[in-house]
Structure 1
């Protein structure tokens, strides 16, 4: 049975004298002090026992699963994907003629859903380009300057690469007068392309009575209002992709090539 300090005092007062009437030894206050010391020692021992038990439990069970995952996880730099690489050459066809253009410029990006500008210096009127993506299902739109109009566009799923090239009829008159810029949009694979095209009234199905499907919507994706609306809905998201620019070697480059 446990007693409070006041209970102990009452008990001790009741039995404060022995049969001869003398006070017991030790005195009441000394007994109380001794009891307080014993309680402090007991609490200290209990804390020590709990601490030892906790250490023993860790030694027996080992680190928890969260610690194990932290140890097993590689550093964040090891998990970063390497951007896809454009091919070193691009083969183009002009009528019956086919020729290969070498890579003259590369740019890499780590996000999708926003417009990107790619600037370079062309060396001929046959400049080509190719976009490659980490996700082959990503949507790609490329807008390039054209002779006699503001711009033309190419669009589709990234697949093995979305690309194109100029020739002497399509290249703008000032194509070789300095640096040129093309605009590129890459959207996630699940971007709501059909929904946006339908809402803007831009879809024109290939077959009469057909609904606006992915093929029909992709054909009108390069329209500025579609690109603006889709960018607003999707927003900027992570996604690796790159573009390669291809062109004929300059006269100086050809002069250094082995015969």
Structure 2
């Protein structure tokens, strides 16, 4: 039931006076104005609440919770993000030229592995197909330090060491490959250290970093020789830790039936570099 303003005026005029016949305790016009103000305030509050709900609903529909409010089928229908392509890295050559005295031939790439960190040793396993198995390491940073280590016929180990971009690679021959080389899988160890690794500091602490040619001091040639020491590599790994850095190792070989007989001038087993683009596996970098 709704009452008009005139009804309210009559009601207040009839019952609002005090028993002594005085005027009402509150003026009728004041009461009416107060009632109108209350109604306006209520309308404003109601409208504001409705607007806030509308804004919140819009935010939910387009904000972080939108996926939770949409049907599951719509979420599943969204395409997955595209994969980020990997960096190009360093490229291995397809062949390794070998010079053994008067014999010259090429080895083909038969196996490769890519690594994305430096500072720790990695083991590479492969199955040789001849006694002339070769290896080569290429690095994203050609100034990185590289050490390779693989078994020799006499039970000792040999390999190469130096700056990655300066190493042509190494290979076995009939005189350096261990007995049983073709009887199953073999392995080699590779260490790649960052270009700024403290090689000199570690070498001086472990070996004294004796110069290769006096007076040379602890020059880079002496540091390369020191890297052949297992304790130098161990301490260097502890100092540098494992860091991001890409490099790839390739294994090269040829069919056993095509093995050439090494010439008399083959430097295998002497510890000296071959005259050509590669060196026998027993080259020690000194």
Is the structural similarity TM-score above 0.5?
yes
In terms of Rg, which structure is larger? 2
The match for 1:90 is: 96
Q: Which residue of 1 aligns with 2:123?
A: 117
Question: How far apart are 1:149 and its partner, in Å?
Answer: 3.4
Partner of 1:185: 191
Q: CA RMSD for the aligned pairs? A: 3.2
Match of 2:134 in 1: 128
Using the alignment, how far apart are the partners of 2:112 and 2:244 within structure 1? 19
Summarize the Cα distance change of 1:194–1:98 in structure 2 as closer, same or farther, 3 Å threshold: same
Residue number in structure 2 paired with 1:25: 29
Deviation at 1:178, TM superposition (A): 1.9
Structure 1: tracts of 5 or more residues without a match: 1-19, 52-73, 253-259
As a proportion of its length, which structure holds more strand? Answer: 1
| Map of 1:103 onto structure 2 | 109
In the alignment, what sits opposite 1:58? none
Write the deviation string for residues 31-65 of structure 1: whole angstroms up to 9, x where unpaired.
56247448748977x98xxx9xxxxxxxxxxxxxx
From the superposition, tell whether residues 194 and 160 of structure 1 become closer, same or farther in structure 2 (CA, over 3 Å): closer
TM-score (norm. length: structure 1): 0.69
Once the 2 structures are TM-superposed, how far is the Cα of residue 232 of structure 1 from its aligned partner?
1.2
How far the C-alpha of 1:172 sits from its partner, in A, is 1.4
> 8 Å contact 1:193–1:214 — kept in the other structure?
no
Partner of 2:84: 77
Paired residue for 2:239, among 195, 213, 233? 233
Q: Normalising by the residue count of structure 2, what TM-score does the alignment of the two structures yield?
A: 0.63
Paired residues, what number? Answer: 210
User: Closer, same or farther in 2 for the Cα pair 1:209/1:85, shift >3 Å?
Assistant: closer
